[in-house]
Structure 1
Amino acid sequence: MKYMSRKPIPTKVHGMLDYASGALFIASPWLFKFADNNAARRVAVGTGVAVLGLSALTNYEAGLSRQIPMRTHLNVDTINGVLVAASPWLFGFAKRKYWPHLAFGLLEVGAGLLTRRKPADV
């Protein structure tokens, strides 16, 4: 029987979430009405672009080029999530609107910590 990680999120599902969350990060300044704040918008759009780029280069089912190990991808997700969650306070826009960055950051941390480290097809 194949070894099954105790982590609940398969890498295939993580890949689908990556592309959806990357697009949502990019659209979030306009969806959640904070596009007029440069710092908040740049963090969201930059994070979205980074998530999409990392996903395209990761060695998992959703990867296009498959150069970056899954373990590295998940470590980057976790660190990035902490930074995104803290960004309203780090960049001074918490009084304007903090909840989208905090929520997305915490979800990113969760995905990084709860996804299996080895893709099924590797």
Structure 2
Amino acid sequence: MKPIPTKVHGLLDYTTGALFAASPWLLGFSDDKTARWVAVGVGAAVLGLSTQTDYEAGLTKRLPMSTHLTVDTLTGVLVAASPWLLGFANRITWPHVAFGLLETGAGLLTRSKPSYYKND
């Protein structure tokens, strides 16, 4: 059984999504357009995905949790690699790598069904 309940995952989604979106200003890399837009875009996407997911923190519950976790895992890998893929590694790396690893880990370690369903 995976150790992270979906309820905890929801709290992580809203917290990390908002913090990653705000990180260019909080951490002083808002002048780097590409790094800024990766952080803002992915942070906003995490928040949007969270509102649509069928789990305790979802508002409309349209997307299955399994889909959400797949998106988290793939997005995390891409965000962690984005400083090198998009050419801003010489300026800023650690927020993207940290968020990407957190996103990937959460995707891999979260239960696939909310507590109001029987977990596998």
1:87, 1:19 → 2: CA distance? 21
Structure 2: tracts of 5 or more residues without a match: none
Work out which of the residue numbers 30, 35, 39 in structure 2 matches 1:40: 35
Matches within 5 A, 1:1-122: 6-122=1-117
CA drift of 1:66 comes to 0.2
Does the residue aligned with 1:119 lie in a helix, a strand or coil?
A: coil
Q: TM-score, normalised by structure 2?
A: 0.96
- Aligned Cα RMSD in Å? 0.5
1:48, 1:100 → 2: CA distance? 12
One-letter code of the match for 2:61?
A: R
What is the number of equivalent residue pairs in this alignment? 117
CA drift of 1:121 comes to 1.3
1:31, 1:49 → 2: CA distance? 16
The alignment-based identity, stated in percent, is 70
One-letter code of the match for 2:24?
A: P
1:77, 1:48 → 2: CA distance? 11
- Runs of 4+ in structure 1 off by over 3 angstroms are none
Does the residue aligned with 1:34 lie in a helix, a strand or coil?
A: coil
**Alpha-carbon deviations, 1:81-108, whole Å to 9, x = none?**
0010000001100000101100100010
CA drift of 1:72 comes to 0.2
2:43, 2:7 → 1: CA distance? 19
CA drift of 1:32 comes to 1.1
